Amino acid sequence: MHKMLSSLMTTALATSLALGLPAHAASSAAHAPAVQEAPLRAHLAFLSSDVLEGRGTGQRGADLTVAYLETQALAAGLKPANGNSFRQAVAIAGVMPQPQASSLGIEAGGAAQPLAYGKDWVWGPGDAKPVHALDAELVFVGYGISAPEEGAWDDYKGLDCTGKILVMMVNDPMPTEAEPHRFNGKGLSYYGRWTYKFEEAARRGAAGVLLIHTDASASYGWSVIQNSWLAERFQLAQGAPGTGMQGWIADGAARALFKAVGQDLDALRAAAELKTFKPVALGARMKGEMKAAVRSVEQFNVAGIVPGTDPALKDELVIYSAHWDHLGKQGSSGDTIYNGAVDNASGSAALLAMAQAAVRAPAKRSQMFLWVAAEEQGLLGSAAYGSSPLWPANKTAADLNLDSMNFIGLTKDIGTRGSERTELGAMAAATAKAMGLRVEPPKPDLSGGYFRSDHFSFAKEGIPAFSVERGNDWVADVENSKANAKAYAARYHQVTDEYDPSWNLAGMVQQAQFTLNLGRMIADAPKMPAWKTGDPFGQLRTAAAK
């Protein structure tokens, strides 16, 4: 399989030269050290073995995983990225709301609203504090969006949010005939994600946020919210604080609440589609004590460096990232270990194999191999890196992330979704061409996939970033490969996401090689890649440079 890959690359290289592609594209691909299959397979087999107990956040398997990664980073020849340590501490709080011990409620129209925790609403502390005493006014703020680059869209209109509970809709304003492209058209913009809503409310000093759930606006049912809020939830203990109270209210309960104060939720929703929308005080109050059990969990990101060789460019950095955590050990009978072989022992193993290759021929810029913690708990490790980076964000050229890699076989294409937001798009296309791979034109991102993987924590800091995803166009054994890929959906986040020694890893090597080749091109390019004009995350980059 290796021969096949390299002959594909040689042919592609000849073709790309004949096509007159940028010289740096072809030469980078030619000079990137080869990623070896044997170490990739060995690391994958070990990281996904029962010995590591599913690499669960806060569990013993996590400690073993971190110890393994730092040992292997050292063995591969990486330099510690945090002084003389490969570790970066990530302070996490485990939060379990205690509705029975709490007295939180809503008073509307002179009466207490009948709200059952779990069925009608869920809530918890966004700031990881165990007790909150609330007596706060409820204000409906539409979508709760303030977006300067969307024609100065502002749902707040100067509202003083201090001490208030902001009731808002998830998702973002729908495209109209006159403005088909507003808020990313049919795709979801970041302003539509619930994470943005909580962040914006915290920036404005609100006491809390209550998100109104509908299946359509959230793109998932109420049961998804229940599952996540009836269990212990992990959040960053510092660095990214939320409002004191965060929660969701089910559509039916929200309708009843609005009716009780003489408001028509449908009419308010329609008004919120317009730029002229103004916040509406509901004349209702959230009152009582909100309690939660809170414990501290210390986890670690692991990071190692291949220093750059160019005196001027070595202060700049390319990051390769992958999350090492998975769902750990759960339950007490049957198979209790969520091995997470594909998700994401594969990416973690690939990063080790790529590091081993990269140290053999350093690039002009420095390169960081970064294994992040607690992705499955909400991108926590990468967010912690984003808020306290080990390398200045404005000197970080890009982040290329790997999560759940190709365990099936070689493909003729490669996934570069999200790269089109920056100059990485053109570089990814050139890298693919040089390897004889096709890239698919980007499709509208309906459910906000760009905001749900670790690369996004870097984009939020203004760093060009995307996840390199596996291709879908199989080179050989097409029908079986398709069936194999489809069957993985049933193993996703289940105990059956296990390693099988019979896996053909040529596709995983190919995906890792593509990522390293692209990283190499970025690391050797004359300039760091830029965002496309008008991208909200690019404006963060520009602001940081000033």
Q: Return residues touching Zn ion (CB under 5 A).
A: 343-344, 403
State the nearest-atom distance from the C-beta of 375 to Zn ion, in Å.
6
State the nearest-atom distance from the C-beta of 453 to Zn ion, in Å.
7
State the nearest-atom distance from the C-beta of 401 to Zn ion, in Å.
10
Q: Which two tokens stand for residue 42?
A: 């060995």
State the nearest-atom distance from the C-beta of 139 to Zn ion, in Å.
37
CA distance 103 to 121: 14
Nearest to 100 by CA among 240, 273, 292, 245: 292
Q: Which two tokens stand for residue 54?
A: 């599913």
State the nearest-atom distance from the C-beta of 376 to Zn ion, in Å.
7
State the nearest-atom distance from the C-beta of 403 to Zn ion, in Å.
4
H-type alpha helices, 468-505: 478-487
Return the ∠ at Cα 61 (arms to 348 and 81), rounded to 5°. Answer: 45
In the complex with Zn ion, the residue whose CB is nearer, 341 or 439, is: 341
State the nearest-atom distance from the C-beta of 449 to Zn ion, in Å.
12
In the complex with Zn ion, the residue whose CB is nearer, 344 or 431, is: 344
Residues 505/344, Cβ–Cβ less than 8 Å: no
Collapsing DSSP states into helix, strand and coil, what is residue 78?
Answer: coil
Calculate the CA dihedral of residues 430, 435, 441, 443 and round it to 10 degrees: -120
State the nearest-atom distance from the C-beta of 2 to Zn ion, in Å.
27
Q: Which two tokens stand for residue 282?
A: 């509901």
In the complex with Zn ion, the residue whose CB is nearer, 200 or 343, is: 343
Q: Which two tokens stand for residue 486?
A: 């489809």
In this structure, are strands 111-112 and 233-236 parallel, antiparallel, or unpaired?
unpaired
In the complex with Zn ion, the residue whose CB is nearer, 197 or 455, is: 455
In the complex with Zn ion, the residue whose CB is nearer, 372 or 430, is: 372
- Residue where the block lists tokens 């946020």: 209
Integer-rounded Cα radius of gyration of the chain? 24
In the complex with Zn ion, the residue whose CB is nearer, 37 or 375, is: 375
In the complex with Zn ion, the residue whose CB is nearer, 377 or 513, is: 377
In this structure, are strands 131-140 and 79-80 parallel, antiparallel, or unpaired?
unpaired
Query: At residue 80, what is the residue type?
Result: P
CA distance 330 to 338: 8
480: left (phi over 0), alpha (psi -120 to 50) or beta: alpha
Collapsing DSSP states into helix, strand and coil, what is residue 368?
Answer: strand
State the nearest-atom distance from the C-beta of 62 to Zn ion, in Å.
15
In the complex with Zn ion, the residue whose CB is nearer, 245 or 402, is: 402
Which DSSP string corresponds to 321-347? EEE--B-EE--SSS--EE--IIIIIHH
Give how far Cα 59 sits from Cα of 52, 63, 65, 289, 491, Å: 10, 7, 10, 31, 22
Give how far Cα 4 sits from Cα of 354, 409, 484, 506, Å: 19, 12, 22, 9
DSSP E strands in 273-390: the ranges are: 280-306, 317-323, 328-329, 337-338, 366-372
Residues 366/305, Cβ–Cβ less than 8 Å: yes
State the nearest-atom distance from the C-beta of 143 to Zn ion, in Å.
29
In the complex with Zn ion, the residue whose CB is nearer, 403 or 535, is: 403
In the complex with Zn ion, the residue whose CB is nearer, 134 or 322, is: 322
State the nearest-atom distance from the C-beta of 344 to Zn ion, in Å.
4
Which DSSP string corresponds to 388-441? S-SS-GGGEEEEEE--S---S--BSEEB-TTGGGBTHHHHHHHHHHHTT-EEPP
Query: At residue 218, what is the residue type?
Result: A
In the complex with Zn ion, the residue whose CB is nearer, 299 or 344, is: 344
In the complex with Zn ion, the residue whose CB is nearer, 261 or 353, is: 353
State the nearest-atom distance from the C-beta of 323 to Zn ion, in Å.
6
